[in-house]
Amino acid sequence: MTTLTPTRLAQMPRVNLLPPEIAEAAKLKRLKVMLGALLLAAMAAVVLIYFFVSSQLGGAQDDLSTAQAQGNALQSEVATYAEVPMVLAEVDAAQANLATASTPEIRWSFYLNDLSLTIPKTTRLTAITALNDAAAAQLGGTVTTAEGLSTPLGQASMGSIAFTGRSTNFDAVAAWLQSLAKQKGYLEPSVQNVTKSAGDTAGTYYDVESSTQLSLEAASGRFLTIANGE
Q: What is the pLDDT of residues 215-230, one digit of tens each?
A: 888 877 766 554 444 4
- Would the pLDDT of 140 be above 70? no
Average pLDDT, the chain: 76
Contact (Cβ atoms closer than 8 angstroms) between residue 173 and residue 167: yes
pTM of model > 0.95: no
Does residue 79 carry a pLDDT above 80?
A: no
pLDDT digits (tens, 9 = 90+) for 183-224: 888 989 999 999 988 766 666 789 999 999 988 888 777 665
C-alpha 189/C-alpha 176 separation (Å) is 10
- Cβ density class 25-35: b for 16+ within 10 Å, e for less: eeeeeeeeeee
**Which among 226, 225, 192, 229 has a CA at the least distance from the CA of 208?**
192
Calpha distance 6→102 (Å, rounded)? 136
CA Rg, the chain, in Å?
54
- Are 158 and 104 contacting, i.e. CB atoms less than 8 angstroms apart? yes
Query: Strand, helix or coil at 191?
Result: strand
| Paired strand residues for 186 | 214
Rounded distance between C-alpha atoms, residue 148 and residue 156, angstroms: 7
The whole-number pLDDT of residue 32 equals 77
Instruction: Give yes or no for a contact between 68 and 76, defined as CB atoms under 8 angstroms apart.
Output: no
Residues 154 and 9: their CA atoms lie apart, in Å, by 144
CATH 3.30.70.2830 applies to domain 108-225: yes
Residue that wins the pLDDT comparison between 12 and 180: 180
Contacts of 167 (CB under 8 A, 6+ apart): 122, 123, 173, 176, 205, 206, 208
DSSP strands (E only) in 4-143 = 123-131
Kindly provide the b/e burial profile for residues 148-161, where b requires at least 16 CB atoms within 10 angstroms of the residue's own CB: ebeeeeeebbbbbb
